[in-house]
Amino acid sequence: MEPPTIGFHLSLGKIEMKNEKEIKGDAGVDDSLFGSMKITYKHQKYGEHSMKFIDYGFLYKGEKSFQLSPKYREFEGHKYYLSLSFKAGLEVDENYELGGKDTPVSAHLEIDDINGDRQASGKFNLSRSGDYPKGTFDIYEEGVFSAAGEFEYMKWS
């Protein structure tokens, strides 16, 4: 069965409909896959903001890696950016520390278009590996913000 051509995400009680052709990844990986993600963004001054996606366009799969990229999200006039990449074939139930581009897991956080060092810290864990991974993350960048959440790449049957 082919996946539906309409995707959606739930954000602060609002549903936005998208045509699959309008949802193209710019993440440097091959395919945008269907899946779900819950994220809580936390900023010392601006508070906590949670979001849940069930959609195409934020979970990507390449030949050797995966990327979570909800891109820019705006809350109360502030733009939050998150992008997290991890190598394919990581072990299940192992806590990975985030590092630079040559490590198994890396992330980049930004707020209000102010670039940080592009090397967020934190932890990442998979509860399922393979072609449709599932896991959790808790990441931060000093002076920027933190983000915690869970994700699941989903296969249509």
Q: For the chain, what percent of residues have pLDDT higher than 70?
A: 78
Q: State which residues form the domain around 143.
A: 6-153
Burial of 50 (0-12, 13-18, 19+ CB in 10 A): middle
CA atoms within 13 A on the CB side of 72: 10
pLDDT for position 100: 76
The 10s digit of each residue's pLDDT in 96-122 is 999 877 899 999 898 888 876 678 999
d(C-alpha 124, C-alpha 57), whole Å: 21
pLDDT for position 29: 54
Structure tokens at 110: 């930004």
pLDDT of 20 > 50? The answer is no
Band (pLDDT 50/70/90 cuts) for residue 5 is very low
Q: How far is CA 8 from the centre of its chain?
A: 16
Structure tokens at 117: 């060092």
Who has greater pLDDT, 56 or 16?
A: 56
Q: Is residue 76 part of a domain?
A: yes
Instruction: Give the number of other Cβ atoms within 10 Å of residue 130's Cβ.
Output: 12
d(C-alpha 6, C-alpha 19), whole Å: 5
Q: Is residue 115 part of a domain?
A: yes
The 10s digit of each residue's pLDDT in 27-76 is 345 588 999 999 999 999 999 999 998 988 889 999 899 999 988 899 99
Band (pLDDT 50/70/90 cuts) for residue 23 is very low
Instruction: Give the number of other Cβ atoms within 10 Å of residue 12's Cβ.
Output: 9
pLDDT for position 21: 32
Q: Is residue 102 part of a domain?
A: yes
Q: Is residue 51 part of a domain?
A: yes
Q: How many domains does the chain have?
A: 1
Q: Is residue 18 part of a domain?
A: yes
Q: Is residue 49 part of a domain?
A: yes
d(C-alpha 47, C-alpha 33), whole Å: 31
CA atoms within 13 A on the CB side of 97: 1
pLDDT of 26 > 60? The answer is no
The chain-wide mean pLDDT, for the chain, equals 80
Q: Is residue 130 part of a domain?
A: yes
Residue 62 contacts by C-beta under 8 Å, 6 or more apart in sequence? 28, 29, 30, 31, 88
Q: Is residue 1 part of a domain?
A: no
Who has greater pLDDT, 101 or 26?
A: 101
